[in-house]
Structures are given as structure tokens and as C-alpha cells.
A = this chain, B = another copy of it.
Amino acid sequence: MNSRQIVLASRPKGIPVHENFRFESKDLEKLKENEVLLKAEYISVDPYMRGRMNDVKSYAPSFEVDQPIAGGVVAKVIESKSNSFTNGDIVFGMLPWATYSIEQSENLRKVDPSLAPPSYYLGILGMPGLTAYFGIMDIGKPKTGETVVISGAAGAVGIVAGQIAKIQGAYVVGIAGSDKKCNMLKDQFGFDETVNYKTSKSVRKSIAEACPKGADVYFDNVGGEITNAVVLNLNFHARFVLCGQISVYNSTEIPVGPVILPRLLTRSVMLQGFIVSNYSNRFNEGLGNLAKWVHEGSLKYKETIVTGFDKLPDAFLGLFSGENYGKMLVSIE
């Protein structure tokens, strides 16, 4: 059995380029006991994966050079030597970027395609959805009528976080990088106001205008100048949900910027950095609520699906130029 895979050819310096990826062909071995053979259906590309391309200790282990990139994958079982899976089962796993792969059954979770499209398990019913859920419900905790500001609002996490904040009764302001994204957030996802940070002359003032009562919760996916502008609009006792910092993931040196601590001090702000795995013992609660809201129609979803295994590097690179509306993922033929 032959598979195509994508390995890390070299570690990127700054913004990744195509030369950092290499396509390879690989012969798969025969299945051993308790293993399954998988055909990839959807492969996820996520901003946090950029950190894994560096040779720096972080919460997720580094990818090895000459070894496959790996991440969230929804796949179909096409052969099984496990009692837990039979042919045709749809599963989620942290798997290599490969058209076919062999995996131990204990590393896979069966997903139910009758409850939601399989791709949803990489997004709204997967890590991005859970990230949004715990960030809003456990850290931001918006009260009815409070103002929640979300950066990277049109991304996989932001688009869900904003809607969950709406479900909690908050006034929700999304920051995004195009009028098209801003219109989508208001028209399709119920955001109350938006700020296009690329066309605003002063992001700080635009946020102030969009938040007449100031910001009580800030859900940060981006960092950098946008975050500095939001911080100047935080209310007393605001909660800062530190979820992502995509603006600096490609930095080659520690970025420099205005020091925000004095402002966090005088406003008695609570900031919590988090990664979704901190909440692994509550994933069932999160997935249960997310699925309920999706079924009720109170939580809508958006995917940008790129077609073709060959397009994986492009899709990943597109995350850093904001090409995705909602969750970016790749559908494998």
C-alpha cells in the first residue's frame, strides 16, 4: 500500500515557505494486531502548528525535520485489526499529513457522521470549538449585557467564540481584516459590531466607537497592535482570554511593543493564558453543549475547504495571510 505524505523539509525562519515542506511517497507496512489502516478525508491546518515547526520547547512537541507534519485528521477506516473499529468507520486522530496511514486504535476516536458532517470534528465539534467554548465559558464568563471583543473573529475559534458570547447574552464586537469578513460576522453570525483593522485609521478609536460601554471581555487570537488597541479599551475587572497570538508566530525575535502591564494593573484585569488540553477532563461537557447549540441553530458554522492533498502547504500558509473564513481545512480526494 502506497501513501503520499508531507514532511518538514527544514525549519522555517519567519514566515514559512513551500521549501519547508517536502512531498514523499511511503510504502505502508502490513497491519499488526490492534492497528487500523486509514484513508484521510479531511486534514486540519491550525495556527498553533507554526510553533511546532520551531525547535523550541512549548506545549506541543516540535515536529522533527524529515518527519511528517501531523495534526488533526478525520479519516475513514479501510482495514482494521482492531475490535474497536470496522471498515467504513469515520475517526478523528492526531495523524500525519498523509493520504493513508496506520494507527493504533487507542489513538483514535470514532465520530458520528449522522450527528454532523465529518469535517465538523476538526472545527466546531473539535479543538477549535472546544477552545472557543472554554475560553468564553470558563475564563471570559461574560454576563448579560457585557461587551465581549474578539480578535481574529472570522477565524475558526473566533467565529465560534463570538456566537457563544451571544448565547450568554453579551454584546459582541469582532475584529477582522476585511469588510467582507466583517459583513459576514454581522449578517451570518449575529455579531453586534465589527472593526476592520486593516482600514481603520485608529484601531483603538474604532474599538472605542464599537464598544460604547468599553470592553469587559477580550478574547485574543492575534496579539500585537490589535491587542494593544483593545487593552486601552478594557473596563475595570475585565477578563482577558489569552488564546492565540497569530501575529507573532512567524517572528524570528521576541517582538517589542508597548508595555501593557500598567494598564492591566490600574484596571484590575484578569488575564488567563490557556491551551485547550487544560480542559481535557471537561471535553464531554463542551462537546455536548456545542452539539446542542449546533442542532438548535443557535451556533452556526463556517468552513473554508481547500480541495486536494497537494494544497495542504498553501492552506496552512493561508492562515497567516487571513485567507480563511472560519475553519480552514483540506479535503482529500
Contacts and interface: CB of A to CB of B under 8 A. Distances in A.
Interface of A: 51, 58-59, 220, 223-224, 227, 236, 240, 242-245, 248, 254-259, 261-262, 264-275, 278
Contacts of A240: 271
A268 B275 CA distance: 7
A248 B273 CA distance: 24
A242 B263 CA distance: 10
A266 B54 CA distance: 14
A261 B59 contact: no
B254 A265 contact: no
Given A259-B223, A259-B248, A264 B271 contact: yes
B268 A271 contact: no
A61 to B, nearest CB: 13
Nearest to A269: B273
A223 B273 contact: no
B268 A270 contact: no
Given A271-B270, A271-B271, A255 B265 contact: no
B58 A261 contact: no
A267 B271 CA distance: 12
Nearest to A232: B254
